[in-house]
Structure 1
Amino acid sequence: MGSKPMLFWDTKTILTYMEPNFRFNLALKIPLIQTAEKSAPLIINRLELHDNRLVINRTEYRMKVWRECKADAGLDNGEVDDDSDEYGDQTSIDESIQPGDIKLVYDGNRCRPNRWLGYVCPEKVYSLPCNHSIRLYVSDTMYEFPYTNMKMHHLIGRLLTIFIGNRNGEWTIRKIKLKNKILRWPANGRKPIIRHAKIGEYSPYKLNGLQSIINTSVPLTILKTSRSKYEDRISDHSFLKNVKHLIISDGTDFFYRSNVLSIQIPFVSITTPTSLENNLKGLIKTFMRRTRPTGVCFYIRTRSKMNLNRINHRDVLRKSTDRMRLRMGSEAVVDVQYKEIESKLWLTIKTVPKQR
């Protein structure tokens, strides 16, 4: 009895349970299954995006430029981390932007960075041939591509298109980390459900980028960010309406200066220990200015306890050294108290239903 080819739906089922990197490479080697691969459900546990590398689960795709000039062996040849032009100057961010790319950093100086690779390429000066290439490292294997019509930022875009572009099946990224300056996301295909995003320093550009790639019909469970050099407050960005839990690290002053308390986010955590002496009274006053739905909660890491008996407010129902309750409208109460969680001290501010 002869063997029977697998049906399309059988192929999709098998692909669904494959490790993503193995699955992507299998589809590259067997073009007949590429349609099924793009249609099958996909779950990526971890996706990290950098300017010259990306990480999918436990597999890293890392790029270097290999510069090998034939003239003058004393020149600075070898591997470098940045793209460059024919003169050896590092390519600027704006020069690397391709159609559909999204900038995640501030414009700053549009001029070239004050950095070079140590020499002018002899190929340009003396018309001598050079052997420049892109080296792609995947696990213990190196692949090499000519550095003529393609640079590293082109290769990053091509890899992302091959792996996650043109998808029509449902797919999920459990954790994504944006460490790149330019988001080179494929233009075509279904948007993923993203559960947990870490964007580094806060920037509205990064929220723009996330909003453009994410399936906003499913809320983002966690968004983690930190103090920014350029922004002194978190703007009321439309993307934040899709965030359940905002975590701010390395920037308690950033939190106090910002308008986080005015943004509709159910759960906010400030994870860097702070002193409450000069901020707690104003924090509670700001929180009480507007009626909030039940379930809204702020966790603020603190170095020590401040006596809550010292806080006066017209809506106080009762208070003690470690806890106070305030009236919020006719249906809710604001509960302020200290909690110790895993040997860390937190001040919690939470809106709870009023007990009947």
Structure 2
Amino acid sequence: MESKPMLFCDTKTVLTYMEANFRFNLALKIPSIRKAEKAAPLFINSLELYDSRLYVNRKEYKIRAYRQCQANVGLHKGEVFYDFDEFGYTLNLADYIEPGDVKFFGNKCRLKDYGLKNECPEKKKISIPCNHSIRLYVSDSMYELPYKNMKIYQLMKRLLTIFIGNRRGEWIIKHFRPQDNVLRWPVDTRKPIVQNFEICTYTHNKLNGLQSIIDTSVPIPILKMSFSNGKIQDHPLFKNVEHLMICNHVCTPTVSDLFSIQTPIVTLTSPATLDTFLGQLINIFMEKPRPIGVRYSILVKRKMNLTTINHPKEIRKYKDAIRLAMGSEAVAVARYSKRRSKTWLIIEVVARN
């Protein structure tokens, strides 16, 4: 029987059920399916992005800069994970922004790389040039390119463009962890739907940048972030999040700032001490009506006797729980709960019985 090429729609269907890394590699080797690959729905189980490496479904793509002159003195076999200039200074990534890139943090200081043991022969104008290259490690394979033609951040941009650039079909990231300082995002691509978002350190600028690259028309089930000091400001992205999880939170009166966030469910996963602040916290929570379903879960170091809390809207109180009126149809409840041997303070709004 004579074989026939698959139709465009058939190719899309087959590609949809392929694992992401296998699919990307196949499209690189077979140019005729690239258009279908970009149009077919894509599901990525996990995507982690760093300045010099990325993980797609836990498969690592690692980039290193190589200097032969440094290998001769035994410095990391001549490899470093950052870009540098001809004087041995680490390049400030914030100074190298291309269209589509998202900068999460402010400019960083230009620091001398004291790990370089000797100067490059090219700097000394020695006739024999030093071998500079950029290396891409994928599984057990290594690919090498001339460093003059490609920097680490440029190769990262190219990889992301090959993988997720120019997408026209719907694509979903189940677990997304952008950990880099500058996100080298493709210029032209459809925004992904993100199901579980882990953004590492919270900054308002980071939320601005991330909101510009993801599909915010679809709710984000979980957003995880770390925060240690200052103030968490409300952000339009929080309104699209169903469950906000915060770790490394130093529990001070700034915890009450979380009550202004538009996310209905908020969890603080670092142990807090609320002994002298719990009454004030409940007062702040009761300052305005809140919709049924709002819930704050705070990991605490120890319980406090809730019968010591006094509030004019109090309905009933026990040692481990207190109920307060919130309008005619809802009740605010503050209670302790035990989960996996840990004690949580739950402050929530429920319907009146």
Q: How would you bin the TM-score normalised by the shorter chain? A: over 0.9
CA distance in 2, matches of 1:100, 1:300: 38
Which residue of the other structure, out of 299, 312, 333, is the alignment partner of 1:335? Answer: 333
**Per-residue displacement from partner, 1:71-119 (whole Å, max 9, x unpaired)?**
x955856111110112222111223322331111233x5x412434333
Q: In 2 relative to 1, CA 329–114 (structure 1 residues): closer, same or farther, beyond 3 Å?
A: farther
Contact conserved, 1:243 with 1:265, CA < 8 A, in 2? yes
Change (3 A) 1:158 1:255: farther
SS at match of 1:47: strand
1:179-198 Cα distance to aligned partner (Å, 9 max, x none) = 10001111111100001111
* 1:255 to 1:186, Cα distance in 2 relative to 1, 3 A: farther
Distance 2:252 2:238 in 1: 17
Q: Share of identical aligned residues, percent?
A: 52
Change (3 A) 1:255 1:28: farther
**Cα deviation digits, residues 124-169 of structure 1 (max 9, x gap):** 2224311111111111111111101210000000000000010000
1:189 aligns with 2:192: no
Is the counterpart of residue 46 in structure 1 residue 46 in structure 2? yes
- What SS does the aligned partner of 1:124 have? coil
- 1:317–1:325 Cα contact (<8 Å) kept: yes
Checking the alignment, whether the CA contact within 8 Å between 2:207 and 2:237 is kept in structure 1 is: yes
Residue 164 (structure 1) aligns with: 164
CA RMSD of aligned residues (A): 1.8
How far 1:178 sits from its partner (Å)? 1.7
Q: Given the alignment, which residue of 240, 249, 258 partners 1:260? A: 258
Distance across 2 between alignment mates of 1:98 and 1:88:
23
Q: 3-state SS of the aligned residue for 1:350?
A: strand
Q: Counterparts in 2 of 1:237-252, with a 5 A limit? A: 237-252=235-250
**Change over 3 Å in CA distance of 1:149–1:201 after alignment to 2:** same
TM-superposition CA deviations, 1:331-356 (whole Å, max 9, x none)? 2100111111122111111101122x
* Paired residue secondary structure (2:99): coil
> Contact 1:88/1:119 (CA < 8 Å) preserved in 2?
no
How has the CA–CA distance of structure 1 residues 75 and 170 changed in structure 2, closer, same or farther, with 3 Å as cutoff? closer
- Residue 57 of structure 1 pairs with residue 57 of structure 2: yes
1:11-22 equivalences under 5 Å are: 11-22=11-22
**Length, aligned pairs only:** 350
**Kept after mapping to 2: 8 A contact 1:233/1:258:** no
Which residue of 1 is the match for residue 101 of structure 2?
Answer: 101
Q: CA deviation at 1:254?
A: 6.1
Aligned residue for 1:252, secondary structure, equals coil
Structure 1 equivalent of residue 135 of structure 2 = 135
Distance 1:36 1:318, change over 3 A: same
How far the C-alpha of 1:221 sits from its partner, in A, is 0.9
Note the 1:58-77 alignment, pairs <5 A: 58-69=58-69, 73-74=72-73
Distance in 1 between the 2:84 and 2:252 partners? 37
> Where does residue 350 of structure 1 map in the other structure?
348
Q: Does 1:10 align with 2:10?
A: yes
Query: Cα distance 1:258–1:354, how it changes in 2: closer, same or farther (>3 A)?
Result: closer
Match of 1:176 in 2: 176
Displacement after TM superposition at 1:32 (Å): 0.2
| Larger deviation, residues 189-198 vs 98-107 | 98-107
| Separation in structure 1 between the aligned mates of residue 200 and residue 263 of structure 2, nearest angstrom | 19
Q: Quick one: which amino acid aligns to residue 122 of structure 2?
A: E
Letter matched to residue 272 of structure 1: S
Measure, in 2, the Cα distance between the counterparts of 1:154 and 1:351. Answer: 50
Give the CA deviation at 1:274: 1.4
The 5-angstrom pairing of residues 189-228 of structure 1 reads 189-228=189-228
Q: Which runs of 5+ in 1 are unaligned?
A: none
Letter in 1 for 2:196: H
Distance in 2, Cα, partners of 1:69 & 1:202: 40
Contact 1:195–1:220 (8 Å) recurs in 2: yes
One-letter code aligned to 1:319 = K
